A and B are shown apart, each in its own frame.
Chain A
Amino acid sequence: MNGNGVTVLDAEALQRLLELDPDGRSRLLERVLRAFESSAKRLGEQFRDARTRGDMAGIRHVVHTLKSSSASIGALALARICAEIEASIRSESVAGLPERLDAMDRELKAVLQAVTPMLSTPGTPT
């Protein structure tokens, strides 16, 4: 699990987050990850709903939001997929979109799987 988390979350990005709160006094990392977890879970549901309804605008909003917040916590693969989806919706090129949406759903789940254990133990992950 630990190893998986390391691959989905970029160490460098996480390090930047830690630098914002060097002595961990404000428990920034935990708060950010919690915020991400709740927001990502909600966005994940909205994503699946929108996909079922074929609501492209709903999908676009989800990927736009996820794009920047996942980048912030170092989920770079997820951020990249979101950006690609957002760009193709904007340019209205649907080629390969369903595959990308599947990939995004997979990657989102993977990121959440990596984040959740980091929240079970308070303090800095090792």
Chain B
Amino acid sequence: MTLRAEPLADDLPERPRVLLVDDDEVNLLLTSVALQDQGFAVTEASSGEKAIRVLADWLPDIVVLDAVMPGLDGFETCRELRVLPGYESLPVLMLTGLDDDASITRAYEAGATDFFVKSTQWSLLAGRLRYLLRASRTRVELERSKSRLARAQDLARMGSFDWRRGQDGPVFSIEGLRVFGIGPGEQPSFRSLLRMVPEEERKAFLELTHSAMDRSTVLATDIHARLVDGRQRIVHIEAEPEFNEHGNLVGYTGIVQDVTDRRLAEDRIRHLANFDTLTGLPNRRQLIWRAERALEHGRRLGHEVALLLIDLDRFKLINDTLGHGAGDELLMEVSRRLRSCVRHSDQVLESSLESVGVRSHRTLEAVGRLGGDEFVALLPEVVDEADAERVATRILEVMRKPIMIGLQECFVTASVGIAIFPRDGASVADLLRNSDIAMYSVKSAGRNSSSLYRPNLAGKGREKLELESALHKAIERNELVLHYQPKIDVRGARMVGAEALMRWKRHGILVPPGDFIPLAEETGLIIPLSEWAIREAARQARIWQDNFGFAESIAVNLPSRLFERTDLVEYIHNAVTTYGVPHHAIQLEITETNLMQQLQNVIPSLHRLNEIGVEISIDDFGTGYSSLAYLTTLPISELKVDRSFVRDLGMTPQSSAVVTAIIALARSLGLRVIAEGVENLRQMEVLHRLGCGIMQGFLFSKPQPPEDIERWLQQTVLPKKAPWIGQASSSDDVEPARATRARESRAKPFGKLPIA
């Protein structure tokens, strides 16, 4: 609000208008002339009656009245004009005789502003008139500013008070009383005012008041007050001490103001600034503030503080598939659950913390939301890391129950990283970073767990997750490809199948399988990856069937967790049906170790797969410790001799002994045997001699894109141009493995290959 500058008191009208009333013609004339000479505009009236008539429709700046006049004298005239509306504060100067004390008193009683002893010194009169006009102007301004102040105070719900030593209570202005809901005229005692303050605040308020008075200092505080009508208000009190000439405190003068609305607004602003609007949990700012206070306490009292970083697993997936509304609902429910895991305190503590006492840091404990699906649990005092881990476990447990979003049941898990002060960091920033690293180590290890920070984790987390995230997108971006390595029947120099091997073309470069397959297995991405591989292999089988009458199997490597899926059979069925190839076009490879670890869970799937014609091959055979008794009961078709035995063939007697044993075992079980990692002719010859006629390895072909396989078949195998062709086929005294023989009848001749 800007106030327009009022004219200064000195800034009188150019020619102030004077009504001059005198029954004496001589005086009237002389005074009039003298005043005009001094710059006044004079209107003359020769009697009181005439003056009243003139005033009925004309307002002068000042009236000069002769006191003694026939008829309506000066006193009566003054009295009459005072009751006219608008004339209450018009300056009126009464002219009296020098020795006329009685008239002076009467003049004031009649409402005259001042008196003036008649004199022939006219310039004195003019000076007095100017003074009166100035005083009047000042008074008008004072009245105006007083009423403005009252109005402003009223608007600001503010009022003033005075308190003198020895008085029972402060004396309030009308506006001041209104602040306390008290009508004008009442003056409440100090005791009755104090009763409005809630009991628990009273003592502190009294102490504050006494200490201000004892030290004669300014008093400024906010109190809660319960008004007579029951309203709860917050009243701001501010008072300054007043001293007498000896410097002794004589009282206080100050203001009271109803600041309830402002405080509510401030509280709301503070709440918005410190709390997450969606979940109502402390936000990043508030959390960091709390954590800093917690560290201060920890440092001072020598205890540990734990910071738990909680990140929801695959929240983005929920947000993307169910929409942001559902995502928000989920976050709210998650927040409720997380709160239940700690002694969550909602207070914004900025001002009150210090006063609560030594254990006050306990009230810092909270779960907050850092943003997105990231939460933090702050444990301001833990005995040891196990303490923090217990809370982490509780967090993982409360997430276990499904969350209903609309009619949809959602399962959400979380990854929790724990950092402990002071061991894992001396600052909040360090602790946040290290809890983040610990959290990412959980993500990498398959999520839904918690981990303490360890220095060796640093640097691994983010990088791995980036790779994971990129791998996740690899499918939709068509960055994954299958390369194929032929399975060769060396005697007939024929391809009797192929193993599909996954490759990742990231930014145009092939990522080695060793760099992403273990990661895919750790993170569970291996499942969508394997599913994609099944479909892709089926698609390729169809292409090869069309191109050269391929009727064998393409083997896809599957982790055991995929076999645990009840819908695997259906999935394969759908994949082969989509591309119009028979079920046996897909063969599944599972490593021996994998199979044995999950035997119980995997067996039902194996049986069902076998029933529909999907063959199972045991990869890396010989490395695990297979229970032979089990092997006999499993519906498997093929054993693949681990490459480590093949490598040593002809170099160590043990390796050929193992291979001989595997072949013997396979024979007794009626299984096909295939050797992988065959790199040279010598290995080929030994294997062939030992009775293994189906092989796979660089000697024949490295894993290649499907088009290259076709080219290789046309240019190398069919024209029998490779060095290995003819070598093994000459030794025909070796009996081929059963399955190979069985398969021979199904195999179509290569003659159907289109030859360029």
CB–CB A20/B68 < 8 A: no
Let me know if B467 is at the binding interface, CB within 8 A.
no
CB–CB B120/A20 < 8 A: no
B23: A residues at CB distance < 8 A: 65
B26: A residues at CB distance < 8 A: 32, 35-36, 39, 68-69, 72-73
Residues A28 and B33 in contact in the complex (CB < 8 Å), given A39-B26, A68-B24: yes
Bound complex: CA A67 to CA B120 (Å): 12
Bound complex: CA A36 to CA B29 (Å): 10
Which single residue of chain B is at the shortest CB-CB distance from A28?
Answer: B33
Q: What are 29 residue pairs bridging A and B, where the CB atoms are less than 8 Å apart in the complex? A: A13-B120, A16-B120, A20-B30, A20-B33, A20-B34, A20-B122, A26-B33, A28-B33, A32-B29, A32-B30, A35-B25, A35-B26, A35-B29, A36-B25, A36-B26, A39-B26, A61-B68, A64-B68, A64-B97, A65-B23, A68-B24, A69-B24, A69-B25, A69-B26, A72-B27, A72-B30, A73-B26, A86-B97, A87-B99
B29: A residues at CB distance < 8 A: 31-32, 35
Which single residue of chain A is at the shortest CB-CB distance from B67?
Answer: A64
Let me know if A38 is at the binding interface, CB within 8 A.
yes
CB–CB A61/B70 < 8 A: yes
B34: A residues at CB distance < 8 A: 20
Bound complex: CA A83 to CA B70 (Å): 18
Let me know if A119 is at the binding interface, CB within 8 A.
no
B27: A residues at CB distance < 8 A: 68-69, 72
Bound complex: CA A68 to CA B125 (Å): 15
Interface set, chain A 70-106, CB cutoff 8 A to B: 71-73, 83, 86-87
Bound complex: CA A105 to CA B33 (Å): 29
Bound complex: CA A71 to CA B118 (Å): 10
Shortest Cβ gap from B369 to chain A (Å): 90
B70: A residues at CB distance < 8 A: 61
CB–CB A39/B68 < 8 A: no
B37: A residues at CB distance < 8 A: 20
B99: A residues at CB distance < 8 A: 83, 87
Bound complex: CA A36 to CA B27 (Å): 9
CB within 8 A of A72: which of B68, B97, B120? B120
A45: B residues at CB distance < 8 A: none
Let me know if A21 is at the binding interface, CB within 8 A.
yes
Number of interface residues of B (CB under 8 A): 17
CB–CB B25/A39 < 8 A: yes
CB–CB A21/B24 < 8 A: no
Number of interface residues of A (CB under 8 A): 25
Q: Count CB-based A-B contacts (< 8 Å).
A: 50
A64: B residues at CB distance < 8 A: 68, 97
The secondary structure that dominates the A interface is helix
Shortest Cβ gap from A74 to chain B (Å): 9
Interface set, chain B 1-47, CB cutoff 8 A to A: 23-27, 29-30, 33-34, 37
Bound complex: CA A108 to CA B23 (Å): 19
Q: Which of B27, B29, B30 has the most CB of A within 10 A?
A: B30
Bound complex: CA A42 to CA B419 (Å): 116
Shortest beta-carbon contacts, A-B, top 5: A69-B26, A35-B25, A65-B24, A39-B25, A36-B26
Render B100-121 as a binary contact track against A, CB cut-off 8 A, 1 for contact: 0000000000000000001010
Interface set, chain A 1-59, CB cutoff 8 A to B: 13, 16-17, 20-21, 26, 28, 31-32, 35-36, 38-39
B97: A residues at CB distance < 8 A: 64, 67-68, 83, 86
Interface set, chain B 321-366, CB cutoff 8 A to A: none
CB–CB A68/B33 < 8 A: no
Bound complex: CA A35 to CA B27 (Å): 9
Render B38-73 as a binary contact track against A, CB cut-off 8 A, 1 for contact: 000000000000000000000000000000101000
Render B71-100 as a binary contact track against A, CB cut-off 8 A, 1 for contact: 000000000000000000000000001010
CB–CB B25/A38 < 8 A: yes
Shortest Cβ gap from B470 to chain A (Å): 108
Bound complex: CA A64 to CA B96 (Å): 11
Shortest Cβ gap from A39 to chain B (Å): 5
Shortest Cβ gap from B742 to chain A (Å): 149
Which single residue of chain A is at the shortest CB-CB distance from B30?
Answer: A72
Bound complex: CA A69 to CA B97 (Å): 12
Which single residue of chain A is at the shortest CB-CB distance from B26?
Answer: A69
A87: B residues at CB distance < 8 A: 99
Bound complex: CA A123 to CA B312 (Å): 115
Shortest Cβ gap from A12 to chain B (Å): 10
Q: Which of B25, B26, B27, B34 has the most CB of A within 10 A?
A: B26
Bound complex: CA A35 to CA B33 (Å): 13
A72: B residues at CB distance < 8 A: 26-27, 30, 120
CB–CB A68/B25 < 8 A: no
A31: B residues at CB distance < 8 A: 29
Q: Given contacts A39-B25, A72-B27, A72-B120, could you give 8 more A-B pairs where the C-beta distance is less than 8 Å?
A: A20-B30, A32-B26, A35-B26, A65-B24, A68-B26, A69-B25, A83-B99, A86-B97
Bound complex: CA A71 to CA B97 (Å): 12
A21: B residues at CB distance < 8 A: 33
Shortest Cβ gap from B211 to chain A (Å): 66
Bound complex: CA A56 to CA B26 (Å): 23
Shortest Cβ gap from B161 to chain A (Å): 51
Bound complex: CA A13 to CA B119 (Å): 11
B120: A residues at CB distance < 8 A: 13, 16, 71-72
B33: A residues at CB distance < 8 A: 20-21, 26, 28
Bound complex: CA A87 to CA B118 (Å): 16
Bound complex: CA A65 to CA B133 (Å): 28
B24: A residues at CB distance < 8 A: 39, 65, 68-69
Bound complex: CA A17 to CA B37 (Å): 12
Render B523-545 as a binary contact track against A, CB cut-off 8 A, 1 for contact: 00000000000000000000000
Shortest Cβ gap from B366 to chain A (Å): 90
Which single residue of chain A is at the shortest CB-CB distance from B102?
Answer: A90
A28: B residues at CB distance < 8 A: 33
Shortest Cβ gap from B170 to chain A (Å): 52
